[in-house]
């Protein structure tokens, strides 16, 4: 990928993720306004744009577009309304992570997201039920902290403690 194209794609991904974050804040702060509908439309448009990028250039891994844009692509993917896109990208992210072209953490998040959406146990415990603040079912829970450590995550109980304190992970401020 030529550097100018990589910069343009990176800028587009970051811009789209920033726009969604802004709408998420508005929807959270003023749920009676137009924000929830605008957020749904934004996520659909972001998913369509990401699908086009992936079809043309492959997964926007860190080695291609930089860490901020690759993380933005992951956030767009996690909020996409298309499970088929998520499943296809999950496999691309797995290869990129195995090759060292993006963080293994990216694969952990999308792998767990897809597992939960398919009604399967997750591997890393990154998906938490918002009603209970407990993780959705985890495959082999006795070894989850080893898998989490392998991808750069702290212990699951620590994540849950932070979540219950309102300071967990990727929470928007």
The verdict on residue 88 lying in a domain is: yes
Cα separations (Å) of 140 from 68, 122, 137? 32, 9, 9
Strand ranges in the chain using DSSP code E only, listed in sequence order: 128-129, 134-135
pLDDT for the residue numbered 22? 94
pLDDT for the residue numbered 43? 97
pLDDT for the residue numbered 170? 44
Residue 21 structure tokens: 């974050």
Domain that holds residue 76: 3-120
33 CB neighbour count, 10 Å cutoff: 11
Query: Do the Cβ atoms of 77 and 89 come closer than 8 Å?
Result: yes
Interatomic CA distance for residues 44 and 33, integer angstroms:
19
> How many domains is the chain partitioned into structurally?
1
Cα-Cα-Cα-Cα dihedral sign, residues 161, 97, 60, 1: positive
pLDDT for the residue numbered 21? 95
- pLDDT in 10s for each residue of the chain, 173 residues: 778 999 999 999 999 999 999 999 988 888 888 988 899 999 999 999 999 999 999 999 999 999 999 999 999 999 999 999 999 999 999 999 999 999 999 999 999 999 999 999 999 999 999 888 899 999 999 999 999 999 999 999 998 888 877 644 444 43
Interatomic CA distance for residues 129 and 76, integer angstroms:
20
The verdict on residue 139 lying in a domain is: no
Q: Which contiguous run of DSSP H or E holds residue 4?
A: helix 3-29
Which one-letter DSSP state was computed for residue 63? H
pLDDT for the residue numbered 172? 40
The verdict on residue 29 lying in a domain is: yes
């Amino acid at each position: 990928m030529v550097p100018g194209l990589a910069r343009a794609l990176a800028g587009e991904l970051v811009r789209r993720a920033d726009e969604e974050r802004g709408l998420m804040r508005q929807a959270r702060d003023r749920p009676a306004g137009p924000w929830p509908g605008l957020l749904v439309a934004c996520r659909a448009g972001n998913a369509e744009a990401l699908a086009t990028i992936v079809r043309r250039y492959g997964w926007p891994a860190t080695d291609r577009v930089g860490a901020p844009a690759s993380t933005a692509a992951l956030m767009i993917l996690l909020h996409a309304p298309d499970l088929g896109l998520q499943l296809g990208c999950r496999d691309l992210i797995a290869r990129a992570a195995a090759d060292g072209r993006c963080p293994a953490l990216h694969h952990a998040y999308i792998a767990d997201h897809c597992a939960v959406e398919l009604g399967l146990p997750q591997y890393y415990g990154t998906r938490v039920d918002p009603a209970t603040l407990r993780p959705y079912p985890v495959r082999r829970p006795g070894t989850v902290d080893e898998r989490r450590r392998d991808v750069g995550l702290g212990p699951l109980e620590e994540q849950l403690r932070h979540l219950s304190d309102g300071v967990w992970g990727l929470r928007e401020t």
